[in-house]
Amino acid sequence: MTRIGVVGLGYWGPNLARNFDALAELAWICDSDSDRLGAFANRYPQAQATARYDDLLNDETLDAVIVATPVPTHYELARKALEAGKHTLVEKPPAMRGEEMDELLQLAVDGDLVCMPGHLLLYHPGVQKLKELVDAGGLGDVLCVYGNRQNLGIIRKDENALWSLGVHDLSVVLYLLGEEPEEAIALGRDFLTPGVEDVVFCYLRFPSGKIAHMHLSWLDPHKMRKITVVGTEKMVVFDDMELERKVTVYEKGPWQRAESYGEWQTRSGDINIPKIPTDEPLRLECEHFLALVRGDGDRQQVAQDGAMVVRALERLTESLGSR
Ligand SMILES: NC(=O)c1ccc[n+]([C@@H]2O[C@H](COP(=O)([O-])OP(=O)(O)OC[C@H]3O[C@@H](n4cnc5c(N)ncnc54)[C@H](O)[C@@H]3O)[C@@H](O)[C@H]2O)c1
């Protein structure tokens, strides 16, 4: 059974520990905060508990390390894990700069190791349905994709809305379109904490001509977790706030009647609500990681997809800062 060590037992790490305890052997838990560590040492008595990350790296029988610490620590911890020959699942984003991500990618290739970013939303069955619809071609030509991730709060002081909220939508937009943007522009304002943008609008343009937009904000009256894909034949909405209609497919689109001499008209047909499984996305993410560790699937693809997200984030950040 794959032996797993989880580092970082704050808000998110315990969810990873719970899943890996069920799916594999949770061999180590690690947190630099002794209170956090103590609480989970009681919950997982079979796992060795330590505040020293190196203890995990020095255990030759440990197969993989799961990094769930704050974002600025990801690159360093992931690099050390890969250098120690451990497969690595790193919370999103695994690095804050494209160069750092390239280094992680190279280490993974050199060691034939998994370096998987924790892009949770990609494992959401609703997003999987979006991907299936886009790839099957039934939407016609996809013209644009836009994401809404807004709410009132949680107001963060260390990470802006782009890094805190945008990573999710960006990973989905790039996954759906399968292209690297040639243009990435972000506009935003730091209303509450100087230097930390609370409201960010992003625009991406792709080599194929497709465009994407993301509205990211924690200063908003609407709680929205929505991604819309506009195709020439159909349009689809994934709405994670909905309980029963996570995905809605609209048979709507533009069309031209032969006798109308190029004039555009619109058409509206059926609205379909496909059944979406209720599987826990995090469980699916952990299962995918374990499958890659076993050698099933393309190990390098997940790291390359993660690198594309980091590069786009970096360009959006530069654009945000330059304004
Ligand atoms: N996928 C998701 O939906 C999702 C949701 C929430 C958070 N996250 C990600 O999970 C990560 C952690 O977020 P969080 O909200 O749990 O943070 P947190 O601050 O609540 O917890 C981080 C924990 O890491 C520990 N830590 C920090 N540096 C360490 C080190 N060098 N060695 C050992 N322990 C260390 C801290 O003591 C703390 O307990 C972030 O990257 C965040 O983006 C992902």
| Eight-class DSSP state of 61 | T
**Ligand 1 pocket check: which of 6, 7, 9, 11 to mutate, most ligand atoms within 8 Å of Cβ?**
11
Phi-psi label, residue 251: left if phi above 0, alpha if psi -120 to 50, beta otherwise? beta
Position 323 scores a pLDDT of 58
| 309 CA distance to ligand 1 middle (Å) | 19
> Which CA distances in Å does 318 have to 136, 187, 214, 257, 292?
35, 10, 16, 45, 33
**Bridge partner residues of 302 (DSSP):** none
| 73 CA distance to ligand 1 middle (Å) | 9
Question: Are 24 and 2 contacting, i.e. CB atoms less than 8 angstroms apart?
Answer: yes
Contacts 24+ apart (CB under 8 A), 257-262: none
Strand order in the sheet with 25-30: 48-50, 25-30, 3-7, 64-67, 87-91, 115-118
> Which CA distances in Å does 285 have to 24, 157, 228?
13, 28, 23
Tell the residue nearest (CA) to atom 18 of ligand 1: 10
Neighbours of 110 (CB within 10 A): 10
Helix count and strand count (H, E) for the chain: 10, 14
Contacts of 312 (CB under 8 A, 6+ apart): 170, 174, 180, 181, 184, 204
- What pTM was estimated for this model as a whole? 0.95
| Index of the ligand 1 atom closest to the CA of residue 282 | 1
Neighbours of 71 (CB within 10 A): 18
| Index of the ligand 1 atom closest to the CA of residue 51 | 33
Position 322 scores a pLDDT of 64
Question: Are 38 and 29 contacting, i.e. CB atoms less than 8 angstroms apart?
Answer: no
| 10 CA distance to ligand 1 middle (Å) | 5
| Index of the ligand 1 atom closest to the CA of residue 159 | 43
Tell the residue nearest (CA) to atom 5 of ligand 1: 12
Residue 205 has which token pair? Answer: 């343009």
| 68 CA distance to ligand 1 middle (Å) | 4
| 33 CA distance to ligand 1 middle (Å) | 12
What is the amino acid identity at position 209?
G
**Bridge partner residues of 147 (DSSP):** 214, 227
Residue 240 has which token pair? Answer: 């994670």
User: What phi and psi, each to the nearest 5 degrees, are found at residue 137?
Assistant: 85, 0
Condensed to tens digits (0 to 9), the pLDDT of residues 233-266 reads 999 999 999 999 999 999 999 988 877 778 899 9
**Positions of the chain with pLDDT lower than 50, given as ranges:** none
Question: Are 203 and 185 contacting, i.e. CB atoms less than 8 angstroms apart?
Answer: yes
Cis before 154? omega within 30: yes
